[in-house]
Structures are given as structure tokens and as C-alpha cells.
Amino acid sequence: MQDSHARVYAAIAAIPRGRVASYGAIAARAGLPGRARLVGRLLGEVPDGMELPWYRVLRSSGQVAFPPGSRGFREQCRRLRAEGVEVRNGRVPLSRFGMDADLDRELWGLPGG
DNA sequence: TCTTTGACTGTCG
DNA sequence: GCGACAGCCAAAG
């Protein structure tokens, strides 16, 4: 386990329940700005026994990274909904469920909530 | 060492 | 809003 890997895992584990974050955001929080693809790669290497909220990680657009209909896709949607996250057509509104949604609303006065 | 691949992202039409 | 393109970089063969 490399340090960069551990930081990525920690960043993912830090996502609050009922919230989601993008691959890029995770990479940035792990001290690896611009390494979004590395995050996706690492998620594919997560040991089965390791508890990690991998399903809280989405694309920058809020879309689930898995192909619609695939097993991972359905599993991710299922787990997200179980936490109260709204998944519509394989997509989550980051304006409401994004990890920094509250902060963004304060700064920009965006509607939501 | 080189090439291929990928759970990504921003830009453009 | 969606598809096409280019940039990105680490792992695997």
C-alpha cells in the first residue's frame, strides 16, 4: 500500500453519509490534483474486505461511472438510495448531494436543500 | 522500454 | 444536454 493510495482511501472514507464527491475532488483532497483517473484505478483495486464508501464517488457531472445496467451500476445506485441520495437515470444532482453543496450554497446562494 | 488501457475531465459544436 | 476530441498519468503485459 503506497502513501498516495492510503490518502485516496482516506479521502473517500471522509465523504459524509448521504453525500457524494467526484473523482477529481477525491484526488485533490488526497493531494493529487488532476489525478482523477488514478482514483478510479485504485477503486478497482480495493480489497473485498476493506470497508470503503466507493459508491459515494461519482463523475464530475454527477453521473455514475459504471455503464448503465451493469452490476456495479445497480449496486452503486442501490447503496446511494439507501442513504437517501436521489439517483435519477444514473445521475445524482451534485447541487444538492455534493460534498461541498452546503458551502457552495452559502458562497453562491444557490437554491436547493 | 514501449504500447495499451482505463470506475476521468474540460472544451467545443 | 450529448457526442466527439484531446490531455492526463499510473498500472499491466
A50-80 pLDDT tens trace? 889 999 999 999 999 999 888 899 999 999 9
Q: Which nucleotides of C are covered by protein (CB under 7 A)?
A: 7-12
Check: CB of residue A62 under 8 Å from CB of residue A27: no
What is the set of domains in chain A, with CATH numbers? Answer: 3-108 (1.10.10.10)
Residue A76: CB atoms within 10 Å:
23
CA A45 to C1' C12, in angstroms, rounded, equals: 13
pLDDT above 60 (res A47) = yes
A41 beta carbon to strand C: under 7 Å:
yes
CA A38 to C1' B6, in angstroms, rounded, equals: 9
Query: Higher-confidence residue: A102 or A30?
Result: A30
